Structures are given as structure tokens and as C-alpha cells.
A and B are shown apart, each in its own frame.
Chain A
Amino acid sequence: MQQLISLLVENKPGALMRVAGVLTSRGYNIESLTVARTLDPTLSSMTIVANVDTPMRELLIKQIKRLVNVVHAYDLTEGPSVSRELALIKILVSPEMRPALLKEADIFRARVVDASPTSYTLEVTGATEKLDALIALLHNYGEVEMIRSGAMAMARSGQQRLPNGFSNNLSREAESAGSVEPEMAKRE
């Protein structure tokens, strides 16, 4: 099964390489990876979906957390979280099929963001399974070209609040990470 990993990392050159390196050096394939700045521009949040054997997951999170640039690392696989993905889907569709296509797209809350005489481009967000279902359906209408963002995930709210809108309810590890003052600040 896939592991869903959520990270808060320093926005510094090499940070992505270090995180990816922990996974790739063990031969784990990264299914998807999203990175973007947080409210604090010096930090980025990262969501990774990777194929990791269950017994290795705790160790993997600890080894990622150990990286100097990683501020928090959580495993969201089991815990309550919200996960969404964005897809842009271009479909070659004949004029007579268009009304039916639009009706079905509506069921999935997909919006047309571009149109040409031969194609529509749809934008859709949702859980990974929802996107899979829509894409499977669209194949019935014509040739499909698609790009997906990969999952971005957040722990559900109502738990201890950590800086930068990051919420955590899972590991004890992360709690103490949130409360530990970096020793650096105390250095003479």
C-alpha cells in the first residue's frame, strides 16, 4: 500500500534532493510529490505518496525527520486527513458528444477551462479515486491527454496547532519536535 507523507521543510536548495534521496536510496518509487511555499515563505510543505512496506514506514519518517532541513514529518496514511489532487484533462471530443460529456463532467464537479473545435480541457479536483473514476469514464468519449498534480494532504483540524498552519495529531515524535527549541538559539 502507498504511504502518504506530509512534510514541512526549509525552503533551501537541496532540501528536495535530500528528502527524495532518503526514498530513492532504498529503492522506493515515488508515486507523486508536490511542493510549494507555505504562509511563511522560508518554509515549504511537501506531500509525498510512495510505495513503502508497512514495517519500514516508522523508520522512514524518522529518517526523513532527521534531515537538517526537515522541520516536521508526519505519516498521514492511517490518521484522519484530507487529501486532494488536481487534474487537467484534454479530451478530443466530437460536437455531438459534447452535451453528454458536460453532463457527466458535472457529476464530478469538473469545469471546462479551455475549448477548441476539436477538444475540451477540463479541470477537476478531488480524491485520487474520484479522478481515476472520471478519467476512466472520459475514455468513452475520445482520446484523453492528462496531467495530474499528485496528492496534497493535510491532517484534519482540531488537534494541537503547530506553526504555519500545520496541524498534527499523530506521532509523539512530531509533538516533541514542535515543542523543542532548536539548541542553536541557545548557543553561546
Chain B
Amino acid sequence: MPLMSGAQILIESLSREGAEVVFGYPGGVTLPVYDVLYDHPLRHVLVRHEENASFAAEGYARTTGKVGVCMATSGPGATNLTTGLVDALLDSIPIVAITGQVPSKLIGRDAFQEADTFGITRAATKHNYLVKDINELAQVIHEAFYLAISGRPGPVLVDITKDVLTGKAHYHEADKMEPLRGYELRLDPDDEEIERAVEFCWNSERPYIYAGGGVISAGASDELRKFSELLEAPAALTVMGLGAMPSHHPNYISMLGMHGSYAANMGVTETDALLAFGVRFDDRVTGRLDAFAPNAEVLHVDIDAAEINKNRRANVGVVGDAKRVLEKLNRRLAETKDKMGPRNRAARAAWMERVHTWKREHPYHYEPAANEIKPQYLMQKIDEASGGEGVITVDVGQHQMWAAQYVRINHPRRWSSSSGLGSMGFGLPAAMGAQFGNPDKLCIAIVGDGGFMMSLPELATIASNRLPVKIIVMNNGTLGMVRQWQELFYNRRYCSVAMDSFPNIELLAAAFEIKGKSVDKPAELDKAIKEAIAEPGPYLLNVHVSPEENVYPMVPAGGAVNEMILQPSKPVAVGD
């Protein structure tokens, strides 16, 4: 093979790893890369802000299961990517970020657009690299992809100096890689652990499944459904786990946690056997930790050994890939069905009945209105349009929680939400990534008016690529979730939550030469959504909703999950 430039080696390595699209923004030190991209088949999508390159790469990764790729120049380019990296780290999303760095001989001399990207992103990535030797470049790129997608997935950043990009070397084959000695993968559970888990499952009278993003990453949703059916156990999902159980499944009891369903939160409080798969006992799920599943022993399955016993001590901890663990568990459960005694069988039937009663008697609830669009009504209409099949991305705030409650997600990887980090401005660029990864599917970005304003420049990216994303702005004129907390916990002292001077959406859409519309009457909504979806290109739909609606049920921060506020008039405790 002839000598190649570092930039060529980079693009060659990305292509060999199967990258289809790179979300990026060029700059001084990455010019050599763009010179290669000029006539290379690898698709580069020019975003309008680097932060959105990392969010788009995440949206692509979350909805395809493949590694998302983003690229930025040194200094500000790299620092702008960082929010998306931390976002991917908290939600365990595989992305590879490429950044340019100033020439090796200038590092440490405060060169133009120099920043210590390697240092800055140390805590923002699963692993990161600074490449100063062109002979390492190909290997590092392949390692980066491997680290991003294997084990517990996460973001990996590769910072490459300009002299490496312009230097010449031979391409080193990926199979000549040294092993990563410190990188431990435990994918297959011990048989002994599985037997303990099987025992644990059969001994319970009130089993309860709590599953999350780890089930999605492992591609274990079918196995999870089977597990739930074998055990006849109710299953609740985290925000990260939505899609891991089909919404219509009789055992499915929706989301648990701060804005979770009544059935899910009561269920977790009363269960005697918490079956946790690919979850991390996040504070937004558990509320007050010592009041979470207070009557339960815990089986915790996670691919990351550091998750076991982190927030809640597990009675049985199993380290392994959720799919492999569930496959083994299901096989053993099927073989040992007779282990469940008649007493347990009766207790379980009563338990399931109880959970179903909660589910039936306390669905998500709101007061409909004739003259204004309730946000929940908007979500129901989006749900009707999507039918559980669309790819939904959301931003962060009230609309995110209502979408999680009302919009059915019947398959894994059809839902994309910045869940751990809660990054506003995520939803719209994530939808761009999702649409690139799923060109034939309906992609809907549900965003609030606050998050939408953070993502404005990407309307240009959507317009120039004619991405048929349907952007639905749930516009309540405020930063709704902050306003809700100020109402409930800060004595209605509303401060800096009014999103005034919101642009005229028809004019804004027209300015980007895309279709757009604003509606504020319930009667207009159905038609408007249908019109948006029928439009072959992008569509920007602004929906004015009741400004003072709150998300319920709500567990005040630091409260116990069974002490939900169910509706507005109830007295509220003071949260922190």
C-alpha cells in the first residue's frame, strides 16, 4: 500500500469501521481532513454548532446501535463537543469524536486555538487519546471504535495533532493491534451466579422487573419480554429503557421514578424481589434511596461491575451482558418451572392482580380543556400519529416527561432522550442523527420552546440536507419544568422562566425555506400533525399549550417514590 497522509489514514480507518456519516465542523487544524473528504464517499454533514455534532452522533448511535461519529477542530471546536460527550458518557452511548490539535511542536505554547482537549475530556469520555505519532493513528481509531461499542458503551475521543494529519505513513492493519491489557470485559455470567438468580426468581412472591438502557444496548428486549412472561412479573422501564418492552404488553406498567406511573411506583415499593437489568439506581428513579423498594431483596444484572452495589446493595449481583444473562436465565427458568410452589403461585396471582388494579385505576391523568391545547393532549395526538412505530427524540423538561408517559414506544431504539445528563438542546440535533440513521422512518423531534431556542441554528442543517424531520415544539411560553419547581417549592416566585420574544414560527420556517405552522386550538391540532407528517420534507410545528400545566405524578426530589403528588390541588412537601 502506498504512503498515505494522516488525514487519509483517518478517513480510511473511519470507513473500515463502517462509519456512514460524520457530523462535523471544520477549522484550521482539521483542514487536511476536509481536503480528503472533498472527493471521498464518506458523508460529512456540516452542522451549525459543534455541540450539535456530538448530539447528532448520539441520536444516530441511540437509534441504530452503531457507533456515531463527530468531528471538530482544536480549541473551541473541541470544547463545544464536550457536552455531547458527557451526555453520551452518562447514558452509555457509543460515539467516537475526532478533534484536531495544534501541531506537536506548538502544544503547550498557547498556540492559536490550542486547548488541552485530552485533559478537558478526560472526565467526559470512557477513554481518550492524544495522537502525536502518525504510526499509531490507525490503531488508535480502531481501538476507539472497539472501546466505544464494547462492554458498557460510551464516548471515546481521539485528539490528533495537525502534523500527524499532514504526515505520511503506511496504513497499519487493524488486526495488528496490541491487546488492551487493562480492559476487562465480562460478558458471560458464571453458571453459579445464574443458578442463584434462578433461585432468587422462584422464591419471590411479588417479583418486579426494573429495566433500563443496558437492555437496549445489549439488544435484549425480546429476552426481557420472555423473562417477564416466564415469571409472570410486571415490568417497569426507566426513561433510558423505553422500548425495551412493547408499550401494549399486559405486563408493562410504564416508567418508574420521579414522574413514573402510579402502578410502577407503588409496585416497586411493595415488591419483595426487585429484578434490575441494565440500570444504575439513578436518583431520579429511586427518590429517597432508603425508601426505594424497602421490602425487596435485589437481583442486579449489569455489564459494569462498578454498578453492582453502587447505590443499592444487591443480594444477587450478576456481571454480564444483559442479553447473554437473560438468555441463560430464561433457559433455566423454563427448565425449572416446577420450582414455584403452590403458595408462591397463589401469592403471585394476587400480586399481578394488585398491580393490574393500580394500572387500571390510576392511569396517567389530566383535565382536558376545550379552548386550549393541553400538553398531554398534544402527546396523545403525537402518539396516535406515531402508533408506537416512529422514531421519537425529545429534549429535556416537561415535554420529555409527558412524551415518556403518553407516546408509546413499541420497539427498542425508537426513543432518544438525554436522560442522565439532561442536556437541553439535545432533541433537535439528535433527530438529525436519528433521521440519517433511519432514512425511511418517521422521525419526530418533540422539543420544548426553551430547548428549541438552543437548537435554532440546526434548522439550517435540516433545510440544507432536506431531512424530513418533524419538529414539534411544545410551546408553553416558559421553561416549564423550572417553572413547575418554582411553583411547587419556591412559593411561585417565578424567576427567569418566561420564554418571551419567541420568534414567529411561520416566518422563522419561511426564513429557512421549510414548511412551518403554529396552532393553539385543540380542534386544529389533529389536522396540523397529519399535515406535518404528510409533508415529504422537514416540518416545523409550533403548538401553543396551556402554560401552567404541571407534570404529574411527581415525586419531590429526595422523597419516597410511593409518596407521589398525583394532582395539582394536593398539598405538597418542600423539596430540596
Contact = CB atoms under 8 A, between A and B. Distances in A.
B304 A184 contact: no
A183 B181 CA distance: 9
A182 to B, nearest CB: 4
B123 interface: yes
Interface string A133-156: 000000000000000000000000
Interface residues of B, number: 28
Interface stretch (A29-37, A63-71, A80-88): A63-71
Interface string A35-78: 00000000100000000000000110011011111110000000
B306 A65 contact: yes
B311 to A, nearest CB: 9
Interface in A84-131: none
A4 interface: no
A14 B184 contact: no
B130 interface: yes
Given A14-B130, A21-B123, A66-B306, A184 B179 contact: yes
Interface in A137-188: 173, 176-177, 180, 182-185, 187-188
Given A13-B130, A65-B306, A180 B185 contact: yes
A69 B126 CA distance: 11
B182 A68 contact: yes
Nearest to B126: A68
A180 B178 CA distance: 16
A182 B184 contact: yes
Given A10-B181, A63-B306, A71-B181, A176 B186 contact: yes
Given A13-B130, A17-B122, A180-B186, A173 B305 contact: yes
A37 B247 CA distance: 55
Interface in B157-195: 175, 177-187
Given A59-B310, A183-B150, A14 B182 contact: no
Nearest to A20: B122
Nearest to B181: A71
Given A14-B128, A68-B127, A184 B183 contact: yes
B147 interface: yes
B405 to A, nearest CB: 33
A14 B306 contact: no
Given A65-B184, A180-B184, A25 B123 contact: yes
A182 B128 contact: no
A10 to B, nearest CB: 6
Nearest to B142: A187
A86 to B, nearest CB: 28
Contact of A9 (B150, B182, B305): B182
Nearest to A184: B179
B281 interface: no
B118 interface: yes
Which range contains the number of A residues in contact with the other chain?
20 to 34
A17 B119 contact: yes
B309 interface: yes
B200 interface: no
A9 B183 CA distance: 11
Select the residue from B130, B184, B304 with max chain A CB neighbours within 10 A: B184
A173 B59 CA distance: 34
Nearest to A181: B179
Interface string A1-36: 000000001100110011001000100000000000
Contacts of A25: 123
A172 to B, nearest CB: 10
Contacts of B130: 13-14
Contact of A183 (B119, B122, B185, B306): B185
B146 interface: yes
B182 A10 contact: yes
Contact of B182 (A17, A70, A176): A70
B306 A59 contact: yes
A170 to B, nearest CB: 15
B184 A18 contact: no
Contacts of B119: 17
Contacts of B147: 68
Contact of B179 (A9, A70, A182): A182
Contacts of A67: 127, 182
Contacts of B185: 180, 182-183
B139 to A, nearest CB: 11
Select the residue from A14, A63, A65 with max chain B CB neighbours within 10 A: A14
B527 to A, nearest CB: 52
B309 A59 contact: yes
A34 B123 CA distance: 22
Nearest to A67: B182
Contacts of A63: 306
Contacts of A14: 118, 122, 128, 130
Given A17-B119, A62-B305, A69 B182 contact: yes
Interface string B125-150: 01110100000000000000011001
A144 to B, nearest CB: 36
A185 B179 contact: yes
Select the residue from A69, A70, A173, A183 with max chain B CB neighbours within 10 A: A183
A132 B246 CA distance: 65
Interface in B71-123: 118-119, 122-123
Interchain residue pairs A-B with the least CB separation, the first 4? A62-B306, A182-B179, A184-B179, A183-B185
14 contacts: A13-B130, A14-B118, A14-B122, A21-B122, A21-B123, A58-B309, A59-B306, A68-B127, A68-B147, A182-B180, A182-B181, A184-B177, A187-B175, A188-B175
Given A58-B309, A71-B181, A182-B181, 19 more contacts: A10-B182, A13-B130, A14-B118, A14-B122, A17-B122, A18-B122, A59-B306, A59-B309, A62-B306, A65-B305, A68-B127, A69-B182, A173-B305, A182-B179, A183-B187, A184-B178, A185-B179, A187-B146, A188-B175
